[in-house]
Structure 1
Amino acid sequence: MKRTEPDTPTVDKKKSLPDSYVLLFAMLIIAAVATWFVPAGSFERTSDSGVAMVIPDSYSSVPANPTTLYDFFMSIQSGLIGSAGIIFLVLTIGGAFAVLDHTGAIQAGIMQLIKRTRSKKYALIVAVSTVFSIAGFIGALQTAVIAFIPIGIIIARAFKLDAVAGVAIIYLGAYAGYTIGGLDPITTGFGQEIAGLPIFSGLWFRSIVYVAILISTILYLCRYISRISKDQGRSVLGSTPFPTDVDANTSIPEVFTRRHKIVLGYFTLCMAGYLVGVFKLGWGLNEMAGLFLVISLGTALIERISANHYVHLFVKGAQSMLYAALIVGLARAIVVVLEDAYVLDTIVNSIAVLLEPMPRILAALGMYVFNLGFNIIISSASGQAAIVVPVMAPLADTIGLTRQVAVLAYNFGDGFTNIITPTSGILMASIAIGGVPWIKWLKFVMPLLCIWIAIGAVALSVAVMIDLGPF
């Protein structure tokens, strides 16, 4: 799926919204300034399990290390290096999908699906979002969701929607499941292991919350689609529902040929192989990038694309993803600044001290709110778990909460704000692929986030009242 910098309109510059890069750079400046005022401190850490986890009650002050001008600009380089896996994955996906786009197989397959469902777009959209949410629930789609955003854009084009709807069908579908992560070994599994709970315990409770989150997401998405279907002017993107280069693409093929079926079958087989690799072999970003190289090469052979033409298509597709790829590194730079200045541990310790004297439900909700905010800084689920859960789990014992409640507070907090946090490389790459500016996405998704937060608050309160235990 081709991609250029979003929204380069001819409108009055005074009225145009700041680019996502501008917003992230401003946040980086704020983070750097904050390091001069927030006291530096650090927990001691142990790496017995292979992951550096904090030791409770080990916090101590350390010499201040505020960000200098040199550190500020080096943080961007460090962010790019630290995010290299995601950056090269995005570039590789761009190249692979350029080859797939050339065949027209995905577009033709979606049109065939639409014809078979007799244009029941809501049924199709609900089905697609639900399937992706299940994949998110089992932890199979956190990073891989980037690969499917172009398919969402194709669906949105076919139904004459907008790029926001195209991204949301896939991304919000996947994250409606990932936010709960009932069977996700990286979020729930790792958090429960740190807290000393049986892995995937409390699944029945998480499943109920998952259903509530999924239903609210589908209703919200369908309401938006209904609104813009009746009046395209009500799209959050205004009069330009897709980037110009997306609209300029060739029309979607009407005929679903035998070769199209072979290409799609090959693509499906490769993705199924990746899922097996995730659960059996521990595959991650690097393996997915390699897989998309295999997909692009195999597709070129099936379509009989010459070597020179393949290189041209792949490089052009990767170039179109450069905006989406580099924004990941800038987002990561914010975390680099805060980590290097030793202020993150200070924030965690301060919240723990504040929560300790509170009543049980208020303390649980306090943990929840803290994790919602902390996730905007540390969007890595495992990274947040390694810092927060070792502190919150024993704190829960002191307050009289179960450790399951503490892990739920981490789960919900880590999951929900993933759909808005600009430090998330996955989110920023996903919306950039669709050509959606972060401010526009924020305008679209904030009401849904408020609904999710309310559901999480109710669920957490219930968990406290019933003393949700390890099973």
Structure 2
Amino acid sequence: MGNFKVPHTLILLLGMMVVALVATWIVPQGFFETSTTESGRQMVVAGTYAQVADKTYLTPWDLLTSIPRAFAAAQDVIFFVLIVGGVLAIARATGTVDALIGRLLEKHGTKPQRLIFMVVFCFALASSAIGTAGEYIPFVLILVGLCKAMRLDAMTAVGMIVAGYGIGYGVSAFNPFTVLIAQQIAEVPQYSGVWLRFAIFIPFVLIGFHHVWSYSKKVYEDPSKSMMIGVPCPLEGQEKPSYPQLNKRHQMILGSFIITLVIAIWGISTKGWYLTQLGGVFIAWGAVVAVLGKLSADETANRFIEGVSDLVTTAILIGVARGIALVLEDGQILHTLVHGMSLPLSYVGAEVSAVGMLIIQTLLNTFIPSGSGQAYVTMPLMAPLGDLVGVPRQVAVLAYQFGDGFSNMIIPTNAVLMGILGMAGVPYTHWFRFCLPLMLKLMAAASAVLVLAVIFGYGLDVQPVIQ
């Protein structure tokens, strides 16, 4: 045991793909019937699960070919990460990022707890309102640099971002990609029950803040307690004893960044933009930065390529992570897993069933990392199952939210998480050790909320009449 070495994240992901392949040989294959919604999405039909007559066996060759297919399936996240890396390298060349870090240090350098709370709160609020996730990737290296200057580490930077992202999704008031879709499928009024989600927002944010702050405080007081000891920082060799003053040119570049974010939020909320369109927006911002920063065309190109090349490893991890779910889909066992997990809930009481729904949604998010995709697969089953065991449909939606959102912070099949970890240079195994206690705290709090929601009849006022 003394010579045991944790394998590289890529090896861990490939190992999970092999496990998924073996699972397709053992687990019975089957499907629910599906129907097409008005939006064109496929939604399963409850009560229609049936095993396939002729089982299909995937081969090791299918495993190998699933890797390039997974890269194609995750191309939007991969290319967005590479583009953001290149554009941020251009911004760093102008000195704007360093000047911003210096300005933030002047305001928060002696009170990092204030900065940590602000980041966790703001990112949670954005995820809760409009479902932002990959949009946080541009902030990774900025926060890593800021934490480094404050005698903290990259784990703290990632903790701030991911805690905000996961908690925002988990207790979202009206995330259009999760809450509204799940409520629509469960046939409860959209935006209904929002008062409870508003009430628990701050308490859950405080759980995330306390976890990150407790760790950062230990690192600040004793750097030897950092989980990142021996792990190279992506900003290694870029230490600066002093930071440039935030001049007019830097302020113009930061102003253009804010305008870029506003355009991105407008596109997401009104035009349905996702990472492809956002990538185009950031390319445009990179061009603006080069002009405002008075960089030559050759220097701009060189900086962009340097930034992209630094994130090739991250891009590979994102692609391979998508391959795990792809193997399970090809092996026709995803619906079997959903069906098998839901069966035990019909034999227990309503309060236990609600917590069981949370656990099931958490586990299934590993195999169906898309929030909306998970809603279309699970909610048509959980809503009527809740009717049978006495769990209001609004509570079933809440259990789905908690399970999907909180597990986003730790599952290796989440491409956004792997992108953030890769940019910050945080190995997945280190992150797992940091995040697991936070997950357990959030799951315990979520279980308590679900039990109380069942006891006090949360959602009974909008419960549809079942014929």
Q: Same fold (TM over 0.5)?
A: yes
1:32 is aligned to 2:21: yes
- Corresponding residue for 1:430? 420
Percent identity between the two aligned chains: 31
Query: Residues 416-439 of structure 1, C-alpha deviation per residue, up to 9 Å, x if partnerless?
Result: 111110111011111111000000
- Partners of 2:415 and 2:11 lie apart in 1 by 16
Q: After the TM superposition, which residues 40-439 of structure 1 pair with which residues of structure 2 at under 5 Å, given as runs?
A: 40-49=29-38, 50-62=40-52, 63-117=54-108, 119-240=110-231, 242-243=232-233, 245-251=234-240, 253-439=243-429
Q: Distance in 2 between matches of 1:256 and 1:148?
A: 18
| Greater Cα shift, 121-130 or 245-254 | 245-254
> 2 CA distance for matches of 1:262 and 1:20?
39
Asked if the contact 1:64/1:341 (under 8 Å) is kept, the reply is no
Match for 1:71: what amino acid?
Answer: D
Amino acid at match of 2:327: V
Letter in 2 for 1:369: I
Which consecutive residues of structure 1, in runs of 5 or more, have no partner in the other structure?
Answer: 1-11
Paired residue type of 1:357 = Y
1:5 — aligned with what? none
Paired with 1:176 and 1:370, the residues of 2 have a C-alpha distance of: 18
Distance 2:344 2:120 in 1: 39
Counterparts in 2 of 1:13 and 1:325: CA distance versus 1, 3 Å:
farther
After TM superposition, give the deviation of residue 209 of structure 1 in Å.
2.3
| Cα deviations by residue, 1:57-93 (Å, 9 ceiling, x for unpaired) | 1111113222212211111111101001011001101
Q: Which residue of 1 aligns with 2:465?
A: none
The aligned residue for residue 19 of structure 1 is: 8
| Aligned mates of 2:389, 2:423 — CA distance in 1 | 45
Distance between the aligned counterparts of 1:408 and 1:348, measured in 2?
A: 18
Q: TM-score, normalised by structure 1?
A: 0.94
Match of 1:458 in 2: 448
Write the distance in 1 (CA, Å) between the matches of 2:13 and 2:256.
Answer: 38
Task: Give the distance between the partners of 1:117 and 1:326, measured in 2 at CA.
Answer: 36
Write the letter of the residue equivalent to 1:52.
Answer: Q
What CA distance in whole angstroms lies between the structure 2 residues aligned with 1:52 and 1:147?
32
* Shift in alpha-carbon separation, 1:409–1:223, aligned structure 2, 3 A: same
How many residue pairs end up in the alignment? 458
Structure 1 CA distance, aligned partners of 2:131 and 2:360? 27
- Runs of 5+ consecutive residues of structure 2 not aligned to the other structure: 463-467
Cα gap change, 1:75/1:301 in structure 2, threshold over 3 Å: closer, same or farther?
same
TM-score (norm. length: structure 2): 0.95
> What is the SS of the residue equivalent to 1:449?
helix
- For residues 354-398 of structure 1, give each alpha carbon's deviation from its aligned partner in whole angstroms, at most 9, with x where no partner exists: 211221111111111111111122111011111000111111111
Partners of 2:15 and 2:170 in 1: how far apart?
28
